[in-house]
Amino acid sequence: MLSYRHAFHAGNHADVLKHLVLQELLLYMNQKDKPWWYIDTHAGAGRYDLSTGFATKNAEFQSGIARLWNEPALPAPLARFVEIIKQDNAKGQLQLYPGSPWVAKHWLRLDDKMRLFELHPSDVELLNATFDELHMLGSGRPVLVQHGDGFAGLKAVLPPPTRRAVVLIDPPYEDKQDYQTVVKAMQEAIRRFATGTYAIWYPQLQRPGWQQMVDKLKQLPVKGWINVSLQVDTPREDGFGMYGSGMFIVNPPYTLEATLKDCMPVLKKLLGNDRGADFVLESASS
């Protein structure tokens, strides 16, 4: 389906949670000198202008990243996250918000690589333009953008030559089959590359698909997982809308759970909209 454009939602509460987790995963990878790959199955446009176009329609960033922008006493991981976004915004005015590839770009080192998949023709054009400006695109360069289905493309890049990778899987779930597709993609990915770190984003909706997917992900034959979710609203009586989101991380670094224990109460306080605001943080290891 090609109707989804992430620019409508750029910088919202779900982006804050997703990109905080992504930042911490890549920071951990950088603790070793060995290179890594970042693989993004649904890369979007790369970064987003919050002052014009789709992002202004619902201005979801106002109830997301904007609420953290001037907070003086954030936990260190959240403060670091806000700071790297401020570096991309002149005079401290919130205008640009990074997509997942742009967050990853910030932590990219000389020998690390990014493989970005995007199916929407308009977004893949913007994605190419974003990284072309930095002369990062092309064979042999740090970033390779591929116009196509990220689920299918994932098979071709696993395992990466480095045997170290963070894989982000965050489809829009407009197609209800995406929940099942994610599980199948993860089953195949684990067979190909069991030691990779995988981060699966999901929306919290009143439809049961996301919960069924998470339950199946918990049954994967892996060494460990973390499931973290942030609910910002009480679910509406009419059943409409996303009231929260989550990240399911396979083979997480040992440092991640402690980081989330520090950050999630703060995100609940700052991003919650009513008494329904809450978070879940659970994990398992073999």
Quick check: 168 and 40 in contact, CB under 8 A?
A: yes
Helix (H, G, I), strand (E, B) or coil at 180: helix
Query: Which of these is catalytic: 40, 123, 170, 233?
Result: 170
Rounded distance between C-alpha atoms, residue 137 and residue 18, angstroms:
24
170 included as an active-site residue: yes
Report angle CA 156, 158, 164 to the nearest 5 degrees: 145
**Pairing between strand 224-231 and 278-285?**
antiparallel
244-250 and 197-204 beta bridge pairing: antiparallel
Paired sense of beta strands 37-40 and 165-169, if any: parallel
| 216 vs 185: CA distance, rounded Å | 12
Cα 253 to Cα 226: distance, rounded to the nearest angstrom? 10
What are the residue numbers of the active site? Answer: 170
